[in-house]
């Protein structure tokens, strides 16, 4: 099999294609012939040397894949050889390869969903869509008519958050973007109004009034998260979904206490270690919405595996919308 291996921290030049032995399934696992792998910000962080305590070098990045079941280990039921699937590699990475080891709990059989969900779309969507679905339904427990603010509305996660918020009853969904050229795309993804993140506080106050918003979904972090506290209604909640800015994450507990506000964190990979069955069920429900076109995905581009460095460069540039995908086989 072929894999993209990172042997040391660095720039895009450290992404190297390597020949490796074929995989054999262990007990309770399956091997998938990978068709597509999603490219995410976490892959860039790992490439730069982040999370080495969890994923030491050499490492094959990649959290999400789609493909066909190649072999099935003992103890696995409900899947068959050749079945089209999408799976999340949240616990051990390894998606940037022509073969991947997957667990059945975090794998969705695509032929059970109906609709016209293709392989590239499945790989592009499974992690971000499941994160959005879980964050809105389980973490925030959105109420009918809530006013919601989503940061990075045109990104891989944000492109789903607005749609899922509407699906679960949000009355008004506001989104922020980093540049004007992203407004048109985000407007097609369930958002009622789009704002530039450079001046979002004043704009949200103008739209939502003095009462503010009921929920903020934030994968950006740093100053954006701190300023979002100004916009929360009493009993409002910020759901922290990442820290793409790399900024400081500290908050004043007295400010949260006196404002009757809360900040909740949700990380899909960490939660999957605690409840893989629950995460897998959420993935099936979320992908069912996509297959039935109750929500739509945004795939920015598909690149051959040999061009993984270009995909990383584009994602780091901040010029992409939606998700990037590698074609592995």
Instruction: For residue 52, give Cα distances in angstroms to 15, 55, 60, 93.
Output: 16, 5, 12, 12
Same domain for 316 and 285, yes or no, is yes
77 & 43 share domain: yes
Q: How far is CA 15 from the centre of its chain?
A: 21
How does the average pLDDT of the chain come out, rounded?
Answer: 93
Q: What is the pLDDT of residue 182?
A: 86
Question: Which among 60, 148, 175, 66 is positioned nearest to 110, based on CA atoms?
Answer: 66
Same domain for 253 and 232: yes
SS (H, E, C) the chain: CEEEEECCCCCHHHEEEEECCCCCCCCCCEEEEEEEEEECHHHHHHHCCCCCCCCCCCECCCCEEEEEEEEECCCCCCCCCCCEEEEECCCCCCCCECEEEECHHHEEEHHHCCCCCCHHHHHHHHHHHHHHHHHHHHHHCCCCCCEEEECCCCCCCHHHHHHHHHHCCCCEEEEEECCHHHHHHHHCCCCCEEEEHHHHHHHHHHHHCCCCEEEEEECCCHHHHHHHHHHEEEEEEEEECCCCCCCCCCCCHHHHHHCCCEEEECCHHHHHHHCHHHHHHHHHHHHHHHHCCCCCCCEEEEEEHHHHHHHHHHHHHCCCCCEEEEECC
Q: Are residues 279 and 171 part of one domain?
A: no
Residues 192, 312 share a domain? no
Residue 265 has pLDDT above 70, yes or no: yes
User: Are residues 121 and 132 both part of a single domain?
Assistant: no
Same domain (yes/no): 263, 132: yes
pLDDT in the model for residue 305: 95
Domain that holds residue 226: 128-268
Kindly state whether residues 119 and 134 are assigned to the same domain. Answer: no
Domain end call among 243, 268, 293 = 268
pLDDT, tens digit, 9 for 90 and up, residues 167-204: 999 999 999 998 898 888 888 888 999 999 988 999 99
Query: Does residue 196 sit in the same domain as residue 157?
Result: yes
d(CA 239, CA 266): 7
- pLDDT tens for 292-301 read 999 999 888 9
**Residue 146: per-residue pLDDT:** 97
Q: Which pLDDT score, from 0 to 100, does residue 211 have?
A: 86
Same domain? For 120 and 134 the reply is no
Q: What CATH number is attached to the domain comprising 30?
A: 3.90.180.10
Q: What is the pLDDT of residue 291?
A: 95
The pLDDT confidence band at residue 252, using thresholds 50, 70 and 90, is low
When pLDDT is averaged across residues 62-87 and rounded to a whole number, the result is 97
Mean pLDDT for 316-321 is 82
Put simply, whether the predicted model's pTM sits higher than 0.85 gets the answer: yes
Q: Among residues 238, 253, 268, which one ends one of the domains?
A: 268
The verdict on 76 and 196 lying in the same domain is no
| Separation between Cα atoms, residue 202 and residue 199, nearest integer Å | 6
Q: How do residues 149-161 score in pLDDT, each as one tens digit? A: 999 998 889 999 9
Q: What pLDDT sits at residue 314?
A: 92
In the predicted model, what is the mean pLDDT of residues 17-30? 97
Q: Give the residue-averaged pLDDT of 256-285.
A: 93
252, 268, 284 — which closes off a domain?
268
Q: What pLDDT score does 91 carry?
A: 83
User: Looking at residue 243, which CATH number applies to its domain?
Assistant: 3.40.50.720
- For residues 5-30, give the mean pLDDT: 96
The reply to whether 42 and 109 lie within a common domain is yes
Confidence of residue 253 (pLDDT cuts 50, 70, 90): confident
Structural domain count of the chain: 2
Under the banding of pLDDT at 50, 70 and 90, the label for residue 318 is confident
Residue 80 has pLDDT above 90, yes or no: yes
């Amino acid at each position: 099999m072929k894999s993209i291996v990172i042997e040391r921290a660095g720039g895009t030049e450290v992404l190297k294609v390597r020949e490796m032995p074929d995989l054999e399934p262990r007990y309770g696992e399956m091997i998938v012939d990978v068709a597509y792998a999603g490219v995410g910000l976490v892959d860039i962080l790992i490439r730069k040397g982040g999370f080495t305590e969890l994923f030491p070098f050499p490492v094959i990045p990649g959290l999400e894949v789609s493909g066909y079941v190649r072999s099935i280990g003992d103890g696995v039921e409900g899947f068959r050889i050749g079945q089209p699937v999408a799976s999340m590699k949240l616990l051990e990475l390894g998606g940037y390869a022509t073969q991947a080891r997957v667990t059945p709990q975090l794998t969705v059989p695509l032929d059970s969903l109906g609709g016209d969900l293709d392989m590239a779309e499945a790989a592009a969507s499974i992690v971000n869509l499941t994160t959005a679905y879980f964050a809105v339904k389980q973490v925030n427990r959105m109420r009918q008519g809530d006013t919601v603010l989503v940061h990075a509305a045109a990104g891989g996660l944000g492109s789903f958050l607005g749609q899922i918020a509407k699906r679960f009853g949000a009355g008004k969904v506001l989104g922020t973007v980093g540049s004007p050229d992203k407004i048109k795309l985000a407007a097609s993804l369930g958002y009622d109004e789009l704002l530039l993140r450079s001046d979002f506080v004043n704009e949200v106050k103008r739209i939502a009034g003095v009462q503010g918003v009921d929920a903020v979904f934030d994968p950006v972090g740093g100053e954006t998260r701190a300023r979002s506290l100004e916009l929360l209604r009493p009993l409002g909640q910020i759901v922290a979904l990442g820290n793409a800015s790399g900024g400081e994450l500290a908050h004043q507990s007295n400010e949260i206490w006196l404002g009757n506000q809360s900040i909740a964190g949700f990380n899909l990979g960490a939660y999957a270690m605690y409840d893989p069955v629950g995460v897998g069920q959420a993935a099936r429900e979320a992908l069912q919405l996509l297959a039935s076109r109750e929500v739509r995905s945004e795939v920015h581009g598909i690149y051959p595996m040999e061009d993984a460095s270009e995909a990383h460069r584009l994602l780091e540039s901040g010029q992409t919308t939606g998700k990037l995908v590698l074609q592995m086989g």
